[in-house]
Amino acid sequence: MLKPNLDIKAVFMDRDGTIGSTGHFIHPRDFELYPNAQEAIALLKKNGIKVFAITNQYRISRGEATFQEFEEQFSEYGFDQSYICPHEQECSCRKPKPGMLLEASQQHHLDLSRCIVI
């Protein structure tokens, strides 16, 4: 349980099965948020917390969707930025490896000990 005085700087949220969908790939045009997910993102931002999307989307490498489609979707939902691993093979950015978190921490000068991953 979080302590009320913990100074959270950012929240990283996964897409499939976390903010919506079934936990499996759904193209951005067909994706639907869970009830209250949009409100939760807005509430975090209202409280000065940066909100980032992190997602493994190997279907980009197969040509079934594009970075742009995912980035536009995340932008519409109010995410500050999205980090997307398009690789089907193992790589340094594919969750659960920390590549996307490390990239975000460098770009946004974040102390990852002050961040949460959902």
Which residues are catalytic, by number? Answer: 14, 16
- For residue 96, whether the previous peptide bond is cis, meaning omega lies within 30 degrees of 0, is yes
| Distance of alpha carbon 11 from alpha carbon 117, whole angstroms | 6
